[in-house]
Every structure is written in structure tokens, then in C-alpha cells.
Amino acid sequence: MTLVIGGAGQGKLEYVLSQLHVGKDEVSYDPEAAKTVLTGLETWLRGETEPIPVLERLLKERPHVVILCNEVGSGVVPMDRDDRAWRERVGRTCCTLAERADCVIRMYCGIPSILKGEPEWN
């Protein structure tokens, strides 16, 4: 599995699609329906408080899946309790995924930095 993180609008999806030579029909927003690319993990995590078992199933079925998630933890602590819990959940889920990932890439202004491993498409 490859994990691609970065702030909003940093070019994560464009980069991944261009590297994989696939179109948006391979992109899913739901881990239970994911094929090649799962994006918007942070949005899915809004409604999922126990994400790890679902993601474990995905990794078992699709060991080469590319997962994209926005970084959301580098701001002021949210006023709302659910927002705080969600923000923390996004961070912890990404820590777990990064540990499991063969490769972790961070996108910054459209530029990829490899934080772990080697991209499978190299």
C-alpha cells in the first residue's frame, strides 16, 4: 500500500493518477468500494469512529491500493468536541497506515517527497 498525504489542494490526486496512468474511474471515496485509488480518507473518517478494521479489510483485498488523505492536524484546536476527535482520528489513522505502508509520500505545492520506502510505480 502507498499512502499519500499533504494539505488540501497540494496535487495529491493529480500526481497519483499521472503516475499510475489511470483515470478517475479508478478513484473511490469509500474504502469498502475502493479499487486502485482511495481518496478523501479524511472525509470518510468524519462518519467512521472505528476505521482500522474497515481499512484492514481493504488492505487484505487490495494490498497495492494507493490511499490519499489530507493533513488536517496543523491548526488551532477546534472549538467543537467532535471536530477535535475527528482531527485526532485523522492523525492517528494516518500514523497506523504509515506504519503499514510500503511507501509514504507527502505532497507539497505539487512536489512529492518520499518519507518512507520506494513508490511501487518506479
> What residues line the site for other proteins (CB under 8 A)?
3, 5, 7, 71-77, 81, 84, 87-92, 94-95, 97-99, 104, 106, 115-116
Any idea what DSSP says for residue 49? S
Q: Which three cell numbers stand for residue 75?
A: 491548526
Q: Is 73 or 110 the residue whose CB approaches other proteins more closely? A: 73
Residue among 109, 104, 108 at smallest CA distance from 4: 104
Supply the minimum distance, in Å, between the C-beta of residue 117 and other proteins: 10
Cα→Cα distances 27→13, 17, 24, 68, 91, Å? 9, 9, 5, 10, 22
Compare residues 111 and 115 and give the one whose CB is closer to other proteins.
115
C-alpha cell at 22: 489511470
Q: How far is the CB of 11 from other proteins (least distance, A)?
A: 16
How far apart are CB 100 and other proteins at their closest, in Å? 11
Judged by beta carbon, residue 62 or residue 92, the one nearer other proteins is 92
